[in-house]
A and B are shown apart, each in its own frame.
Chain A
Amino acid sequence: MPHSFTREDLDRVARLARLELDATEQDLFARQVAGILEYAAQIQAVDTTGVDPMSHPPGGQAAMRADAARPSLPRDASLAAAPEADLAAGLFKVPRVLG
């Protein structure tokens, strides 16, 4: 049985998920996620020895497609919804990455 969800778990997971949380959310989520996991702990009691995990409903397995070039969205259409873009150069713009 996993240990209960702590404030340290929340900080770690928020970093992994690239989520900045305000103080209210930190208090709320630490409590609520712990409560949800406590409720979900009932599945630990189910004997799943030798049972295969199911990732998709049967028959819905992702199909392979041919590895062939095909038309995609025009560049301008792809850039049109970007918060910041250089349409002439065909680039999405982001804040600086390196120092």
Chain B
Amino acid sequence: MDRPFTVCEVRDAVASGRVCAVEICQAALDRIAASDAGINAFRAVVPERALARAAALDARADRAGLPLLGVPVALKDNLCTRGIPTTAGSRMLDGYLPPYDAAVVERLEAAGAVVVGKTNCDEFAMGSSTENSAYGPTRNPWALDRTPGGSSGGSAAAVAARMVPLSLGSDTGGSIRQPAALCGVVGFKPSYGRVSRYGLIAFASSLDQVGPFATTVRDAAVAMDALAGHDPRDSTSSTAPVPAFARALEQSPGNLQGLRIGIPRALFNEGVDADVLKAFDEALGVARSLGATVLDVQLPYNAQAIPVYYIVATAEASSNLARYDGVRYGFRAPGARSLGEMYERSREGGFGREVKRRIILGTYVLSAGYYDAYYVKAQQVRTLIARDYDAAFAQVDVIAMPTSPTPAFPLGERTADPVRMYLSDVFTVSANLAGLPAVTVPCGFAAGRLPVGLQLTGRPMDDALVLRVAHAYERVTAWCGEQPMTAPPSPAHAANVF
């Protein structure tokens, strides 16, 4: 028997008593110790806390019913964890110890998951490569000279390198899906409002959503069963009924008869890598073979999604980041002679360049004289982008696109050119603008061994269908089982350790 690794394998093995949560936890900690030095996926690892939690689970008489029993989980470092440093990748929050846990942390732990550490990310989740972290870049486990994508690059790399079977990220314009695609794992951005953001360090509040990374769609669905639901502490969290995500996968699995998949092919311009398009088209062939109908759809205003996103997101960020003023938490520049000087110098010293650039841009588009021309205009085009989707979803059930126009790019390649970096998110931002659920599932390789992701987007609150279609695809393909060479050797024949 192989050592259990996936969320479902771990839960079932621990529930059956075949292995204990402490052994699973130690195996994850060992993998992190063995492989993270060259990857830098983790900002903090908490072995003592994790092993104590695992031991407490092993001692519980009612443990067998816990849906994430003994599952080691890593959390993006913009999710607050009581007593565990939470930096959001920023010098501004160096050493910050939150006084409370994010709602998703409470939910995962209540379901039996064991937090093993916090993962690296672009500063305040602003970036597409994890190079904007104040604590050094994360490297892609498939090619250590390339980025893992971002901003949740650490969470994607930790799962890709098989350090943990489950991690959480946040997705404001693609920050779960793009790194998941570039690292060859499953990443899911739920519908806006589906998962509580209480305790998520805010970036752009009309766009931010928390979601899981895993090696299989089934694992992501099991995690969603624990994560989803109304939370009165997040006033945007939805009161809509929560479906049983994992159970929904079992509805005629492997059969997509009657399903209509829309392809907005007019958006696939010259910037899309040829290998990415080839893998995408092969994935559509698989969907057809399962009974789905593939149709062309038009999303004309999606061509404006990147400029709209970078106006709306920076405007909201400039407001959200006003709280970092050196008074209640975070970095304070020493020696200021007045309150105003203290604010300005603390923000100068605490924020990195991408964050400052976005605060400047966001403040500008909200300022007197420019508000209507930029911010209101962008919000109006946002309405048109959402209407595009409404019209398309009258004809089809899900929309498929490549998740990222290119595979993982070399470290340093795009850092000097913000617009080029922003275009990494060309296929992901519109789901955030419209509040839609979207998943990425591995669908092949480009340029040899660089993973490619297939993105499936659904109607608002139709999260379960998106996951069901992705699951049907992964059942008949082998991409989800592919691992980077930097992952530790498979422990397949090490059953005797138990």
Indicate with 1 or 0, residue by residue over A20-57, a CB within 8 angstroms of chain B CB atoms.
11100100110011011101111110101001111111
- The listed residue (A13, A22, A57, A83) touching B364 by CB distance below 8 A is A13
CA distance A62 to B239 in the complex (A): 12
Cβ of B206 < 8 Å from any Cβ of A?
yes
- The listed residue (A17, A40, A41, A53) touching B359 by CB distance below 8 A is A17
Let me know if B347 and A19 touch, CB within 8 A: yes
Let me know if B304 and A18 touch, CB within 8 A: no
Cβ of A69 < 8 Å from any Cβ of B?
no
What is the predominant secondary structure among interface residues of chain A facing chain B?
loop
Cβ of A89 < 8 Å from any Cβ of B?
no
Let me know if B344 and A18 touch, CB within 8 A: yes
CA distance A35 to B135 in the complex (A): 28
CA distance A60 to B317 in the complex (A): 18
Which candidate, B25-33, B63-71, B382-390, B489-497, is the interface stretch facing chain A? B382-390
Given A33-B361, A46-B304: A17 and B386 interface contact (C-beta under 8 Å): no
Cβ of B380 < 8 Å from any Cβ of A?
yes
In this complex, how many residues of chain A approach chain B with their Cβ under 8 Å: the count is 59
Q: Smallest distance from the beta carbon of B489 to chain A beta carbons, Å?
A: 42
CA distance A41 to B304 in the complex (A): 10
Residue of B nearest to A82 (CB): B328
Q: Which residue of B98, B192, B363 has the most chain A CB atoms within 10 A of its CB atom? A: B363
Let me know if A63 and B235 touch, CB within 8 A: yes
CA distance A83 to B301 in the complex (A): 46
Indicate with 1 or 0, residue by residue over B326-357, a CB within 8 angstroms of chain A CB atoms.
11111110001111111111011001010011
Given A46-B381, A92-B327: A40 and B374 interface contact (C-beta under 8 Å): yes
- The listed residue (A18, A32, A80) touching B97 by CB distance below 8 A is A80
Let me know if B347 and A92 touch, CB within 8 A: no
Cβ of B271 < 8 Å from any Cβ of A?
no
Indicate with 1 or 0, residue by residue over A45-85, a CB within 8 angstroms of chain B CB atoms.
01010011111111111111100000001000110111110
- The listed residue (B239, B342, B419) touching A39 by CB distance below 8 A is B419
What is the predominant secondary structure among interface residues of chain B facing chain A?
helix
- The listed residue (B370, B379, B435) touching A53 by CB distance below 8 A is B379
Tell me which residues across on chain A come within 8 A of B268, comparing CB atoms: none
Which candidate, B9-17, B171-179, B307-315, is the interface stretch facing chain A? B307-315
Let me know if A54 and B383 touch, CB within 8 A: yes
Q: Smallest distance from the beta carbon of A67 to chain B beta carbons, Å?
A: 13
Let me know if B364 and A33 touch, CB within 8 A: yes
CA distance A23 to B55 in the complex (A): 54
CA distance A17 to B366 in the complex (A): 11
CA distance A2 to B97 in the complex (A): 43
Let me know if B304 and A81 touch, CB within 8 A: no
Q: Smallest distance from the beta carbon of B268 to chain A beta carbons, Å?
A: 19
Let me know if B373 and A55 touch, CB within 8 A: no
Tell me which residues across on chain A come within 8 A of B311, comparing CB atoms: 40, 43
CA distance A32 to B232 in the complex (A): 40
Let me know if A65 and B232 touch, CB within 8 A: yes
Let me know if A58 and B460 touch, CB within 8 A: yes
CA distance A85 to B367 in the complex (A): 33
Cβ of B96 < 8 Å from any Cβ of A?
yes
Given A51-B383, A83-B326: A19 and B374 interface contact (C-beta under 8 Å): no
Given A19-B344, A40-B310: A55 and B364 interface contact (C-beta under 8 Å): no
Let me know if A29 and B360 touch, CB within 8 A: yes
Residue of B nearest to A16 (CB): B363
CA distance A78 to B100 in the complex (A): 10
Let me know if A54 and B419 touch, CB within 8 A: no
Let me know if B308 and A43 touch, CB within 8 A: yes
CA distance A36 to B201 in the complex (A): 25
Let me know if A82 and B327 touch, CB within 8 A: yes
Let me know if B193 and A96 touch, CB within 8 A: no
Let me know if B236 and A62 touch, CB within 8 A: yes
Q: Smallest distance from the beta carbon of A59 to chain B beta carbons, Å?
A: 6
- The listed residue (A46, A57, A63) touching B384 by CB distance below 8 A is A46
Q: Smallest distance from the beta carbon of B422 to chain A beta carbons, Å?
A: 8
Let me know if B341 and A95 touch, CB within 8 A: yes
Give residues 417-442 of B contacting A (CB, 8 Å): 418-419, 422, 433-436
CA distance A94 to B353 in the complex (A): 26
- The listed residue (A33, A42, A94) touching B307 by CB distance below 8 A is A42
Given A44-B377, A57-B434: 7 more A-B contacts, CB < 8 Å: A17-B347, A54-B386, A78-B328, A80-B97, A92-B328, A94-B327, A96-B338
Instruction: List the 7 shortest-distance A-B pairs measured between CB atoms, nearest first.
Output: A57-B435, A53-B379, A83-B332, A48-B380, A40-B307, A81-B329, A77-B99
What are 15 A-B contacts with C-beta separation under 8 Å? A1-B373, A17-B363, A18-B343, A39-B307, A39-B419, A53-B376, A53-B379, A57-B206, A59-B193, A60-B192, A73-B99, A73-B100, A80-B99, A81-B328, A94-B342
